[in-house]
Structure 1
């Protein structure tokens, strides 16, 4: 009851001395005004309450170091305005972060899915290559895996380069039939 008669400056002095009754009086005097001010900017009851609670907790927790160079009302209005602006800034940063995570997650899932399909296709192709006749498979693998020319393969296996060319063509024809044109065009 005595606090109701105190000025804002006197309340601040009482607050700095650790009197909870001074904080309660500041709360009574300014809560409704600060709430209305913040709500006009934010229009979210829960967030406004949280911001106000944070402000009054800050006042109490930092009462000894509190240095107010303006009036208490100006300090409180400025504090609320800054806290609302911080809320918007933090919300924007959080939304950008979530959007970035979602985008990266979608890209990662797509990349993982793509790699999975590539591995499956490679297994299918390798299986079909392993079923080629032995000489055809050897020549084909030397051509594709070791990147040897037809002449190098012919020299290595002591056969005609025309035989090598024919064997590679045969391997490609067999694989094209077994794997289908689409898969074949991806790998060869």
Structure 2
């Protein structure tokens, strides 16, 4: 892949010039790390994906004036943490966060907004399908944690399982779901920005 051997600073310089390949290289290099941070803070797979998506959309929309003088990884880490903080301040529930993003997609002009909204809806549907394919006990734990927002200790009491066993099940379930959603994240970003800019 182009830029795979380049430094972060070189990639950012090319992004400043509007190079979409450099932008994709930055995404591929850091999306999983940023997702992990957002996921640890929100405890929800889809919310974490939303926050990462919003950060990368912002980076491209401001690419001409983007300035990162120091460590790029540190800049992205700080940015994602700040966005998580903003997410907590602006959103009282996961449902409202979903509605806000969908509203943004619907406000975009042209066919690309409809395609983006459709893709986003498809991602949510596939997220549920991925959950449905989990083993019964793993699915039960995942749903209690990420859809009913129960804590590890609450799940432990409800299911009479050791906390570490629950953590292990959640880790494996999240890995399975994340692999499925990775492809949707990049596609949704490009659709939100408009397909014409990537030709």
TM-score (norm 1): 0.48
TM-score (norm 2): 0.45
Higher relative contact order, structure no. (Cα contacts within 8 Å, ≥ 6 residues apart) = 2
Larger Rg: 1
